[in-house]
Chains A and B, each alone.
Chain A
Amino acid sequence: MNSLGILQSIKMALRSIQSNKLRSALTMLGMIIGVSSVIVLVSIAQGSAKNVTSQINQLGTNLLTINTFGTDLTLTEDKINVLSKLNGVKALSPVVSGRVNVKKDRTTSQVTLTGTNADYSKVRDTKVSNGRFINDLDIEYRQKIAVIGSETASTFFGAENPVGHYIQIEGTSFKVVGVLVSKGSSLGQSGDNVVIVPLSTGQRLVKSTSINQVYLQGKSEDQMDFVMNEVEMAMASMYPGKSDSYSVTNQQDIMDTMSSVSSTMTMMLGGIASISLLVGGIGIMNIMLVSVSERTKEIGIRKAIGAKRRDVLLQFLIEAVVLSGVGGLIGILAGVGIGKILSSILSLTVSFTSSVMLLSFLFSLAVGVVFGVFPANKASKLNPIQALRYE
């Protein structure tokens, strides 16, 4: 073998970087800023996407919703029974809803009322923190009981335990049997300022027997398209020619829309940050060009002594790649650090993924290669006679 080893080339590059510390640090700064901004921005975008996904999942998993509009279509109990017997449907919960006045002592408030069955708890993933949820007997006996949201509970009872106490809904006295776990607001709906009553009593309260919404839970996530089809077919056969009066929506659809929005956002932010990586790369090219002309004499000596074109090319290329690679590594650390600080100061959800880190590191290496090739090639092509004469 008659050439310089890669390891030796890397050693040489490290030496030359060391001997020019300030300049190397400033060159790396471009890469550091580029890589860290990619990581920070992409992590924030992914964090918010994760946030939205978990908010949607709070509404219940594997959820299908049937909404009815207008008056020419009434979902009745027997029709709903047909739906609940469909193959892929695990649980089903009809809902009547409306706004009602709730009063206790001197406090009055408008609250969203939901009249539903026992399965609602399962289908919509609502848990009780205190007391119990509605059960089937409550519906059968038209019990005047209510499960209230955590915000409603604090409005009317403050820190007191509401279970066992009474509230007035539209003038009728209801016994509170349970308080829901706080869900926070999701997609503009407060999930905490609610009153849930048995379906039968709910129908009486909103003075309507028509069920305007049915939630269905599928058996498994990958069956959702199939279940959706089943439900649509069943609805079409029960209400021929009235497909405009109801809609069946799949939660997965909302999720897909949301994730496509957030992935577009991630791409955009990542793209903007990548521009700074490019700028950093141009900085490296600049410095390497300066370095080549500064070290013309050195190149001449090396060539006279027997360095081949490849040896000189590799030396400068490796220098560029080491600069950009080390910059990239520091950038990753800085990016993670800044992300952590931002997430604690601005209480943002930040999600770091190793693939983004790896990708931006590889990208920074690639930038080093791309922008290092031109100066390195220039160095390797120098004529040794002229280079030796250069002062």
Chain B
Amino acid sequence: MVRPIIQISNLMKTYKLGGETVHALNNVSLEIEKGEFLAIIGPSGSGKSTLMNMIGCLDRPNAGKYLLDGKDIGKMNDNQLATIRNQKIGFIFQNFNLLTKLTALENVELPMLYRGVPAKERRERALAGLSKVGLKERAGHLPTQLSGGQQQRVAIARALVGNPAILLADEPTGALDSKTSKEILQVMKELNELGHTIVLITHDLAIAKEARRMVSIQDGQLQENGGELIGNFAIY
């Protein structure tokens, strides 16, 4: 049997907010297999950002267990988390989060820079990554010289270039018009067909439906298949 790439069991995360304890994640369990295309849907304040930070190894849980590729994330220090993020996770953000002073190519090179890949190999792999998303001829452009869709493609290339275990997309189409959104989703679907594991976080049901599997999160609790969000409560 193949071990799931992500195993989350009974994850808890609480914040102190103005003297009150907020259960951002309450006993969340989730397993993601290799090659899956999973959407996590939830309204704002549902805890989906917290869950994303957990999955993305930006934060550590208060309780529970998170195994990424068999490694226990809860026991790692900041530096080990940075290494895990660098090697296992490709981030795609809502507002692209490209470094504005670096060219598209240099942005894509960045993860490999922190991995210590030699300059020549870095360049070749970054160029290959850019041509995968169809932006090879834009390699020398600054992010400000690119359209939103192009910027997100650069971000996807940057996320992919380190060959991560999962692609973690946080509202990847949130800042794009509907036509570009479709293009970006198409790119992600193609990547999934190529075997990449993708976790998509969104509040938009239409987008979540593009994924092959959907879970919903509400008040820090996770439910398979959209659960009651779609049924009785009918937020969507």
Residue ID in chain B nearest A311 by CB atoms: B114
Contact A306 B82 (CB under 8 A): yes
**Binary contact readout A349-391 vs B (1 if CB under 8 angstroms, 0 otherwise):** 0000000000000000000000000000000000011001000
Contacts of B56 in A (CB 8 A): 304
A sample of 9 inter-chain contacts (CB < 8 A) reads: A1-B116, A4-B114, A302-B99, A303-B82, A305-B110, A306-B85, A307-B114, A308-B83, A384-B58
Contact A307 B82 (CB under 8 A): yes
Contact A305 B85 (CB under 8 A): yes
Measured CB to CB, the closest approach of chain B to A302, in angstroms, equals 7
Is B115's CB within 8 Å of the partner chain A?
Answer: yes
Is A237's CB within 8 Å of the partner chain B?
Answer: no
Known: A2-B115, A4-B114. A306 touches B78 (CB 8 A): no
Known: A2-B115, A4-B114. A388 touches B93 (CB 8 A): yes
Contact B111 A305 (CB under 8 A): yes
Is B151's CB within 8 Å of the partner chain A?
Answer: no
Chain A interface size band reads: 20 to 34
Which of B56, B93, B110, B113: most chain A Cβ within 10 A? B113
How many angstroms between the C-alpha atoms of A384 and B82 in the bound complex?
A: 10
Measured CB to CB, the closest approach of chain B to A300, in angstroms, equals 8
Residue in contact with B91 in the complex, picked from A15, A304, A309, CB distance below 8 Å:
A304
Measured CB to CB, the closest approach of chain B to A134, in angstroms, equals 80
Residue in contact with A302 in the complex, picked from B59, B101, B110, CB distance below 8 Å:
B110
Lowest 6 CB-CB distances: which A-B pairs, in order?
A306-B86, A308-B82, A306-B114, A1-B116, A301-B97, A306-B85
Contacts of A384 in B (CB 8 A): 58
Contact A304 B115 (CB under 8 A): no
Is B87's CB within 8 Å of the partner chain A?
Answer: yes
Contact B111 A306 (CB under 8 A): yes
**Binary contact readout B78-101 vs A (1 if CB under 8 angstroms, 0 otherwise):** 110011011100010100011101
Contact B116 A4 (CB under 8 A): yes
Contact A15 B82 (CB under 8 A): no
Is A310's CB within 8 Å of the partner chain B?
Answer: yes
Contacts of A298 in B (CB 8 A): 99
Is A240's CB within 8 Å of the partner chain B?
Answer: no
Is B158's CB within 8 Å of the partner chain A?
Answer: yes
Known: A306-B111, A385-B58, A388-B93. A15 touches B101 (CB 8 A): yes
Is B14's CB within 8 Å of the partner chain A?
Answer: no
Is B53's CB within 8 Å of the partner chain A?
Answer: yes
How many angstroms between the C-alpha atoms of A8 and B58 in the bound complex?
A: 25
Contacts of B87 in A (CB 8 A): 306
How many angstroms between the C-alpha atoms of A5 and B115 in the bound complex?
A: 10
Measured CB to CB, the closest approach of chain A to B157, in angstroms, equals 13
How many angstroms between the C-alpha atoms of A19 and B102 in the bound complex?
A: 10
**Binary contact readout A277-317 vs B (1 if CB under 8 angstroms, 0 otherwise):** 00000000000000000000110111111111111000000
How many angstroms between the C-alpha atoms of A9 and B158 in the bound complex?
A: 20
Known: A2-B83, A385-B59. A306 touches B115 (CB 8 A): yes
Measured CB to CB, the closest approach of chain B to A186, in angstroms, equals 63
How many angstroms between the C-alpha atoms of A27 and B53 in the bound complex?
A: 38
Is A16's CB within 8 Å of the partner chain B?
Answer: yes
Residue in contact with A388 in the complex, picked from B82, B97, B162, CB distance below 8 Å:
B97
Measured CB to CB, the closest approach of chain A to B218, in angstroms, equals 21
Contacts of A310 in B (CB 8 A): 79
Known: A8-B113, A385-B53. A304 touches B79 (CB 8 A): no
Is A107's CB within 8 Å of the partner chain B?
Answer: no
Known: A304-B58, A384-B58, A385-B59. A3 touches B116 (CB 8 A): yes
Measured CB to CB, the closest approach of chain A to B117, in angstroms, equals 10
Q: Which of A1-51 touch B at CB < 8 Å?
A: 1-5, 8, 15-16, 19
Contacts of B86 in A (CB 8 A): 2, 305-306
Which of A19, A300, A308: most chain B Cβ within 10 A? A308
Contacts of B79 in A (CB 8 A): 308-310
Contact A305 B91 (CB under 8 A): yes
Measured CB to CB, the closest approach of chain B to A299, in angstroms, equals 10
Further pairs besides A306-B86, A388-B58: 6, Cβ < 8 Å: A2-B116, A4-B114, A4-B116, A15-B101, A304-B56, A384-B58
How many angstroms between the C-alpha atoms of A368 and B110 in the bound complex?
A: 26
Residue ID in chain A nearest B52 by CB atoms: A385
Measured CB to CB, the closest approach of chain B to A115, in angstroms, equals 84
Contacts of B114 in A (CB 8 A): 3-4, 302, 305-308, 311
How many angstroms between the C-alpha atoms of A225 and B195 in the bound complex?
A: 91
Measured CB to CB, the closest approach of chain B to A173, in angstroms, equals 92
Q: Which of A292-349 touch B at CB < 8 Å?
A: 297-298, 300-311
Contacts of B158 in A (CB 8 A): 305
How many angstroms between the C-alpha atoms of A307 and B162 in the bound complex?
A: 13
Q: Which of B52-79 touch A at CB < 8 Å?
A: 53, 56, 58-59, 78-79
Residue in contact with B83 in the complex, picked from A8, A16, A306, CB distance below 8 Å:
A306
How many angstroms between the C-alpha atoms of A305 and B115 in the bound complex?
A: 10
Contacts of B59 in A (CB 8 A): 385
Residue ID in chain A nearest B98 by CB atoms: A301
Measured CB to CB, the closest approach of chain B to A130, in angstroms, equals 74
Residue ID in chain B nearest A387 by CB atoms: B58
Contacts of A305 in B (CB 8 A): 85-86, 91, 110-111, 114, 158
Which of B56, B82, B101, B162: most chain A Cβ within 10 A? B82
How many angstroms between the C-alpha atoms of A298 and B101 in the bound complex?
A: 10
